[in-house]
Structure 1
Amino acid sequence: MLPNSIYKYLIDLRKNNNRDWFHANKAQYNQAKKDFELFVELSIQQIKHIDPSVTGNNAKDCVFRIFRDVRFSNDKRPYKTNFGAFIARGGRKSRYGGYYIHIEPEQCFLGGGCYMPEAKILKAIREEIYHHPEEFKSIVENSQFVNHYPELYGEKLKTAPRGYPKDFEHIQLLNYKHYAVSKAISDDIVTSDKFPLAIHEAFEILHPLNQFLNDIIEDL
């Protein structure tokens, strides 16, 4: 189960998102971070039975920092109000498709794939889908997949990407800026002993999409 220390800390941080409170409660943060890293270590062991490519990762490679980059943001709150981890070959900075765990009271979700891929990767994914649309559709239109992930994540181009015909039958599959998905998970599930099973089910369904994406990325 996800330790209660994580939720408690994030709820408190949401109410007190400032540096003075953060430093005065550093011990509470350190405990919550340690507990989350242990949970991620256990999740990595679980996921590698689904996708062996994540073997070799440890939690510190995968967990995101809690500090926000506020340099170009109107929102100057210094800290994220979530713990997150991206489990993929190479860890959180990987260019490969992977598996994401997001813990935030009332806003938890599981997801993955390729979020904000670099231009070269995005072009290669579109090219593969253009030439093999049925293979991609067999993954994202599979009934089990749709039950967990009804649609791909994020905004889409309003017109066909440059270099592709507007009358291509499956042009909507090329318009995505991300090839990623997400699935909301209730607090009741996250804080129960059912959460590991929810992770296994969600990521087992996600694996074929990551395999499709990573086969493309490996060839670049």
Structure 2
Amino acid sequence: MTGASYTGFGDKALPFLKALGFHQNREWFHDNKAIFEEHLNEPRGRLIDDLAARLAERRIPLTCARKTSTFRINRDVRFAKEKHPYNTHVSAVVTRSGAKKDQGLLYVHVSPDDSFLAVGFYAMEPDELRAFREAIVARKAQFDEALKPLLGLGFAFDREDSLKRTPRGFETVDEPELVDLLRLRHLTLSRRFGPDRLKGTALLEDLVELAEAAQPMLSFGWRVTDPVRAARDELSH
């Protein structure tokens, strides 16, 4: 850690990631690793450091750290069909503990073609997802109210992995908007951003703004999923 403040990603950040897509080999990466460190990895670390401090100042119950919140540029290809050794993006998560597997998160993804911010509950256990769906049905007005700050910032639900049919147990639900929510596999919302947000402190400010706007939605989800997880953990001991 250098202790320096975040001032944006380097000018070679996106060109490096784009070139990495064409040069998926360890020799090229080793020869250009200094660019990765200076223009991508170190700026990302500074972003994480400054964001953690800003969240603590505002007493927002989220945090992040370089060691636990960032994803490696190396891909885990053990079970992947695609065997390219490197990701062509850099990313990080912000959670209550700073650990990646915590539910209720912010996510930042920087890539040449599809940079975005995301927020919500991703890859929940089946019992957590069912409880969340039941809570949405029971308290739809409250859930809608919790979403307003995020929708106001231009975030929208991610529907790419949605179910084609309403999940079992919810077949009697016929309100189209509610059915749409129940078919989501992940209760996450996202918003794309352009290369201009990588300059200066724009991305840091965007993340602080997102963290504040996300509190009602995250709190709604934590109240639902925390008891489910606690009960499951108790049964396993």
TM class, shorter-chain normalised?
0.7 to 0.9
Q: 1:145 to 1:183 in 2, by over 3 A?
A: same
The amino acid of 1:46's aligned partner reads R
The amino acid of 2:187's aligned partner reads Y
Q: Which segments of 5 or more consecutive residues in structure 2 lack a partner in the other structure?
A: 1-6, 229-237
Partner of 2:172: 166
Whether 1:100 aligns to 2:107 is: yes
Q: Which is worse superposed, 145-154 or 61-70?
A: 145-154
Whether 1:26 aligns to 2:16 is: no
Partner of 1:127: 134
The whole-number CA distance in structure 2 between the counterparts of 1:14 and 1:148 is 30
The amino acid of 1:187's aligned partner reads P
Q: 1:100 to 1:51 in 2, by over 3 A?
A: farther
What per-residue deviation string (whole Å, max 9, x for no partner) do you get for residues 134-186 of structure 1?
1112233x276254113344322222211123334323221110000111011
Partner of 2:88: 81
The whole-number CA distance in structure 1 between the counterparts of 2:47 and 2:96 is 18
Partner of 1:69: 76
Specify which of 3, 6, 10 is matched with residue 9 of structure 2: 3
Q: Offset at 1:189?
A: 2.1
Q: Offset at 1:197?
A: 2.5
Partner of 1:38: 46
What per-residue deviation string (whole Å, max 9, x for no partner) do you get for residues 14-35 of structure 1?
3322122122333333443233
Whether 1:190 aligns to 2:186 is: no
- The alignment-based identity, stated in percent, is 27
Partner of 1:148: 154
Q: 1:146 to 1:157 in 2, by over 3 A?
A: farther
Partner of 2:210: 202
For residue 106 of structure 2, give the secondary structure of its aligned residue in structure 1.
Answer: strand
Q: Offset at 1:87?
A: 0.6
Contact 1:51 1:207 in 2 (8 A): no
Contact 1:6 1:33 in 2 (8 A): no
Contact 1:157 1:177 in 2 (8 A): yes
Q: Normalised by the size of structure 1, how large is the TM-score?
A: 0.86
Contact 1:6 1:36 in 2 (8 A): no
The amino acid of 1:41's aligned partner reads D
Partner of 2:3: none
The amino acid of 2:216's aligned partner reads P
Q: Offset at 1:204?
A: 2.5
Q: 1:24 to 1:194 in 2, by over 3 A?
A: closer
Contact 1:160 1:166 in 2 (8 A): no
The whole-number CA distance in structure 2 between the counterparts of 1:23 and 1:135 is 51
Q: Offset at 1:200?
A: 2.6
Q: Normalised by the size of structure 2, how large is the TM-score?
A: 0.80
Q: Offset at 1:74?
A: 3.3
The whole-number CA distance in structure 2 between the counterparts of 1:54 and 1:138 is 21
Q: 1:179 to 1:101 in 2, by over 3 A?
A: same
Q: 1:62 to 1:144 in 2, by over 3 A?
A: closer
For residue 211 of structure 2, give the secondary structure of its aligned residue in structure 1.
Answer: helix
